[in-house]
Structure 1
Amino acid sequence: MSHFIRNISNVILSIVFLAVLCAPAAVTNLSGSGPALDENREPAAMPVLKPDVQGIIEFPSRFERYFNDHFGLRSLLVRWYSIIKLLIQDKSSVKDVVFGRDDWLYFTGDGVLKDYCGTIPFSEKELELRKNLLEQKRDWLEEQGIAYLFVIPPNKHSIYPEYIPDEFTLIRGRTRLDQLVEYLENHSDIHILDLRKTLLDNKDRLRLYHRTDTHWNDAGAYFAYAEMIREIDRMLPCWKSEPWMLSDFEVVKVKGKGGDLAGLIKLEESIQEERILFRPERKRKADLIRMPAYLDRKWIFCNHVFAPFARENPDGNGTAVIFHDSFSMALSPFLGEHFRRAIFIWRNNPDYFLLEDVIEEEQPDIVVEEVLERFLGFMRTEQEFPAQALSMEFSASDETVLHMTTASSSAGDFSRRRDVSITRGPDGFIIDASGDDPRFELPDSRVPDTIRSIVRVDVT
């Protein structure tokens, strides 16, 4: 009987083992829609096998990324793995998160720790490109009577380095933000608002960042907001406003589930966060207005909709447009009290076309661009703003792609003519147009194979 029971037990154990192995595969989603990820990115798409050598070489790794994102029971298995890794090795199961001292978590993606150690500095060219971009935006806005403020919230690492594990701080050097601030001081008249000093000066009063999250809490957002309002007051002569006092708020501490870093390792239910909340003692006047169809655009970022919103205070002064990342979500209730209309758009580093549309719609007094310290490396420095930027880039080039003179070309080089006659004259070609739709084409020319090219056509 015992032999029979042992056989039955082995069969049951085998079935359970196979079930554990097969369950993820059974619920794996290969339809392409994919599960929701907590990693601020879209799940990898099903790769297409391209019928060429490069496509065949790349397909296995691309399919592996796709399969990892769509693997059945992914969240549950990641949570189990995180718990085991934490209990046995006291380490994070996700490479983009590290455990610091006193239960602090730190984000390590986007080269944050390398930047903190000073091992991935900007080149001289990268600094120059950022200077040019900021100056171009400022000058273009100033031509329209609009002030421009560039604001940099610091990484948590910059304000609370004391909790980072020693293994990540053996080397310390100048960060990219250190470089940029120094470069602009020496090579530009543009002023940026580096929030490190005001936060470091106030970190002993209250904890300013969440322990288990990337972001600052209400206290950090408050001190940043107060410095921003003082700066805006200096920039706008006719705009007078003062930040609310710290005594205008009741400071409340509430325990709840962990923040986004705890979520990345699926331990948000196991690792708690003590949140510091600012509850106003005086009545807030600004109304929140959501605008999901603003400018008839789709506002999608990392597979989520982040539609613009406004805060309107009838007793406020002027209009502000704030382009931002996630750090401004905690800022917006504070800032919104000071403006008649403050519109918040989740697009840091906006391109010219978006900025032009928003400026035309809002006619603001000031544009604020908030860019987190770690995102300075991702600024889209290839974009330009009209006139000055185009002139600067064109003047820096010495390449001519086509030059037609009567000595080097003939009238027959102009093709596909319609309602136009072209003849050789004493000083050049004479173009005589007639009809309603004259046209002609120039000879084929080789344009540089780049992301975009600036071409100027001179007809004299």
Structure 2
Amino acid sequence: MILFFGAKHTEAPVFSISNPKESIIKFKSYYIENFGLKTALLDSYLQFKTNVLNDNPLPNRVLTGKDGWYFLGNHYNNLFDDSFGNHALSLSELEIIKNNIKTIKENLESKNIVFQIVVPPNKHRLYTENLPYRLNQNPTRLQQINSYLKKEIDFEILDLRDTLYAHKESEQLYFKTNTHWNDIAAYIGYYKTISSLNLDIPVTSISNYNFDIGPIKRGDITEMIHIKSDESTVYLSQKTASELVPIKSEYHHLHFKNPNRKRKLIMYRDSFSNAWIKFFNSSFGETIYFRDYNIKPDIIDKEQPDVVIVEVIERQLSTVLLSL
């Protein structure tokens, strides 16, 4: 079959009166596989599924939660299952993770560099009550990893879940239509991370920031199902002009200097760090951010940081740690 895009598609399944449920499943799979996000019909299909049938149009990718909340599905590294501890790591995987971290930790400690791994939690673990359904709770992969690391090499990953949970009743911390946290959650995570380093590093008070309300930049979850987001959020902006000097500003490499601070930070990070970079810049004399997890010894030797932080969102944690 050839449609108006000129691309060849597989034959549509034949509808079976004797087994309509299976036929509907086959048609749904056929539609997603062959039309993807390319045809003009997709908007109508997604809107019909959402507004008329009250159904998740792409249930393995997007979960429609309660009160306007949206969550990623299991398509993303078995995210939903892992949030309830139903996708455990094997012993061999835990050993690989332990050895990878041990090598980095020992190398940095030999140079008197403080090393920390920090994990913003999956939105599912912070706003479980807004999920469309729940599973029985077992230890998550992060909890598995931490238990193993503490026992084997006396190392603990900083899980920000409990810290954020303590503030969730007074502040919305994650976006409803986006996978990420907002500026308030990022500040809370920054404050906790600096405190965990046990160094004499100044923490900028949240009172130094204006609280500005504005639309979120994009609803990355709702974009998948072609729903426009009108969500607004709080943005924190400095009340006084910063003396920060940008040295490099590239997607994969950011570099700043702050003449009012001491100490040097290198952070390996993902998009969650976008919201807290301004806070770390206010606490360190020099900050370097890499949008990857390739901790190169020659870079460490050249830059000689005081602190190395690996920030990774929980849903990607095991993948990242297995390849460090």
Match of 2:195 among 214, 226, 230: 230
TM-score (norm 2): 0.84
Residue deviations 1:238-297, cap 9 Å, x none?
A: xx2232223222223323575110112222xx33222221122233332333344xxxxx
Question: Structure 2: which 5+ residue stretches go unaligned?
Answer: 9-29
* In 2, Cα distance between equivalents of 1:180 and 1:380: 10
- Give structure 1 regions of 4+ aligned residues with deviation exceeding 6 angstroms: none
Tell me the secondary structure at the aligned position of residue 118 of structure 2. Answer: strand
* In 1, Cα distance between equivalents of 2:245 and 2:172: 29
* In 1, Cα distance between equivalents of 2:85 and 2:287: 37
Look up the match of 1:128.
95
CA contact under 8 A between 2:146 and 2:156: conserved in structure 1? no
Q: Which segment is superposed worse, 274-283 or 114-123?
A: 274-283
Residue deviations 1:203-235, cap 9 Å, x none?
A: 122111011001101111010011111123x0x
Look up the match of 1:311.
256
Tell me the secondary structure at the aligned position of residue 135 of structure 2. Answer: coil
* In 1, Cα distance between equivalents of 2:178 and 2:247: 27
Match of 1:161 among 128, 143, 154: 128
- How many angstroms does 1:152 deviate by? 1.1
Matched, 1:263 2:223: yes
CA contact under 8 A between 1:151 and 1:371: conserved in structure 2? yes
Matched, 1:143 2:110: yes
TM-score (norm 1): 0.60
Residue deviations 1:58-82, cap 9 Å, x none?
A: xxxxxx9xx958x8x8164333322
Residue deviations 1:406-428, cap 9 Å, x none?
A: xxxxxxxxxxxxxxxxxxxxxxx
Match of 1:345 among 279, 290, 307: 290
- How many angstroms does 1:137 deviate by? 0.5
Tell me the secondary structure at the aligned position of residue 292 of structure 2. Answer: coil
Look up the match of 2:301.
360
Tell me the secondary structure at the aligned position of residue 265 of structure 2. Answer: strand
* In 1, Cα distance between equivalents of 2:39 and 2:214: 27
Higher relative contact order (CA 8 A, sep 6+): 2
Matched, 1:96 2:77: no
How many aligned positions are there? Answer: 297
CA contact under 8 A between 1:92 and 1:265: conserved in structure 2? no
* In 2, Cα distance between equivalents of 1:142 and 1:257: 39
Tell me the secondary structure at the aligned position of residue 23 of structure 1. Answer: coil
* In 1, Cα distance between equivalents of 2:270 and 2:203: 22
- How many angstroms does 1:100 deviate by? 0.3
Aligned pairs (5 A) from 1:402-421 = none
CA contact under 8 A between 2:204 and 2:282: conserved in structure 1? no
Matched, 1:276 2:257: no
Residue deviations 1:118-165, cap 9 Å, x none?
A: 211112222222122112101011122222111111111111111001
Tell me the secondary structure at the aligned position of residue 105 of structure 2. Answer: helix
CA 291–321 in structure 1, closer or farther in 2 if over 3 Å, else same: same
Look up the match of 1:207.
172
AA at the equivalent of 2:312:
V
Q: CA RMSD, aligned part only? A: 2.4
* In 1, Cα distance between equivalents of 2:180 and 2:249: 25
* In 1, Cα distance between equivalents of 2:217 and 2:282: 30
* In 1, Cα distance between equivalents of 2:280 and 2:101: 23
* In 2, Cα distance between equivalents of 1:150 and 1:85: 41
CA contact under 8 A between 1:257 and 1:271: conserved in structure 2? no
- How many angstroms does 1:382 deviate by? 5.8
CA 119–362 in structure 1, closer or farther in 2 if over 3 Å, else same: same
CA 263–133 in structure 1, closer or farther in 2 if over 3 Å, else same: same
Residue deviations 1:344-403, cap 9 Å, x none?
A: 10113x2xxx512321332211111112111122135366xxxxxxxxxxxxxxxxxxxx
CA 79–312 in structure 1, closer or farther in 2 if over 3 Å, else same: farther
Look up the match of 2:27.
none
* In 1, Cα distance between equivalents of 2:252 and 2:217: 26
CA 333–78 in structure 1, closer or farther in 2 if over 3 Å, else same: farther
CA contact under 8 A between 1:311 and 1:341: conserved in structure 2? yes
Aligned pairs (5 A) from 1:360-439 = 360-379=301-320, 381=322
CA contact under 8 A between 2:121 and 2:313: conserved in structure 1? yes
Look up the match of 1:172.
137
AA at the equivalent of 2:155:
I
Aligned pairs (5 A) from 1:26-105 = 74=38, 76-94=40-58, 95-105=60-70
Residue deviations 1:5-35, cap 9 Å, x none?
A: xxxxxxxxxxxxxxxx85332xx69xxxxxx
Question: Structure 1: which 5+ residue stretches go unaligned?
Answer: 1-20, 30-63, 293-305, 384-460
AA at the equivalent of 1:356:
P
Look up the match of 1:333.
278
CA 285–160 in structure 1, closer or farther in 2 if over 3 Å, else same: farther
CA 150–75 in structure 1, closer or farther in 2 if over 3 Å, else same: farther
Query: What is the percentage of aligned positions where both structures have the same residue?
Result: 29
* In 1, Cα distance between equivalents of 2:302 and 2:131: 45
